[in-house]
Chains A and B, each alone.
Chain A
């Protein structure tokens, strides 16, 4: 099955700085890569996702880049704010046929933004 590695496991930045979280995957057939944010005691929330037909996607201060050749994708958060502090999870899809698949998740990155 798919194997997703996520780094770093913890990340501390000063408010206003940028934060980058990286993930690698093993299955070259994977074609969907979501990112989730989970605040303490809350549900994982989808913040951005990218499909393999594009290399980059941006939504305000959040961007995701995908390198299919190298099989890695990254989350970029610019102008970080204290409310960005949370655990961030990446995931990659394992595709089996046209209708069956599942997501494999990374272990998560605890991001702390200091004011």
Chain B
């Protein structure tokens, strides 16, 4: 349960605010992911980092800006968000980004944009 942690767990922000989500993994993995989970929709992959390098950007608006300073930490910087960006943001990690490695999720940050 503590392999992948995320902070904050809940965040309410106005459309003009700037905030950051943080993820940390203690599993020694080399790949980290940001997913968006909205009601009635499949999990949407946003970004993939492998060995601190971004390997995938899934057509995500520029108001979401990821950062991976090292293989254990991942951030998602948020600015000028829209109400439709309200969702659960999940971080995950895996041994590699082959698509065949088990992914382990953090508890998520519940984001509400007002």
Q: Which A residues form the contact surface with B (CB < 8 A)?
A: 4, 31-32, 34, 36, 42-46, 49, 51, 89, 93-96, 98-108
Please report the C-alpha to C-alpha distance between residue A51 and residue B98 in the assembled complex, in whole angstroms. 13
Asked if residues B103 and A46 are in contact (CB atoms below 8 Å), the reply is yes
* A contact residues around B100 at 8 Å (CB): 31-32, 51, 93, 95, 101
The answer to whether residues A45 and B98 also contact, given A89-B43, A105-B43, A107-B42 and a CB cut-off of 8 A, is no
Q: Is B105 in contact with chain A by the CB < 8 A criterion? A: yes
Partner of A43, one of B55, B90, B97: B90
Asked if residues A100 and B105 are in contact (CB atoms below 8 Å), the reply is no
A32-B100, A43-B106, A101-B98 given; name 4 further pairs at CB < 8 Å: A42-B107, A44-B90, A46-B104, A100-B55
* B contact residues around A44 at 8 Å (CB): 43, 90, 105
Interchain nearest-CB distance for A15 vs B (Å): 26
Please report the C-alpha to C-alpha distance between residue A96 and residue B55 in the assembled complex, in whole angstroms. 12
Ordered by A's residue number, 13 sampled pairs between the chains whose C-beta atoms are within 8 Å are: A32-B99, A32-B100, A42-B107, A43-B105, A44-B43, A51-B100, A89-B43, A95-B99, A95-B100, A100-B97, A101-B99, A102-B56, A106-B42
Please report the C-alpha to C-alpha distance between residue A45 and residue B97 in the assembled complex, in whole angstroms. 18
* B contact residues around A51 at 8 Å (CB): 100
In order of increasing CB-CB distance, the 7 nearest A-B pairs are A101-B99, A93-B99, A105-B43, A32-B100, A43-B105, A105-B42, A43-B107
Give the number of A-B contacts (CB < 8 Å).
Answer: 60
Interchain nearest-CB distance for B63 vs A (Å): 22
The answer to whether residues A4 and B42 also contact, given A42-B107, A44-B90 and a CB cut-off of 8 A, is yes
Asked if residues A108 and B107 are in contact (CB atoms below 8 Å), the reply is no
Which B residue's beta carbon lies closest to that of A99?
B98
Asked if residues B103 and A34 are in contact (CB atoms below 8 Å), the reply is yes
* B contact residues around A104 at 8 Å (CB): 42
Asked if residues B99 and A102 are in contact (CB atoms below 8 Å), the reply is yes
Interchain nearest-CB distance for B59 vs A (Å): 12
- CB-contacts of B72-107 with A (<8 A): 90, 96-100, 102-107
Q: Is B66 in contact with chain A by the CB < 8 A criterion? A: no
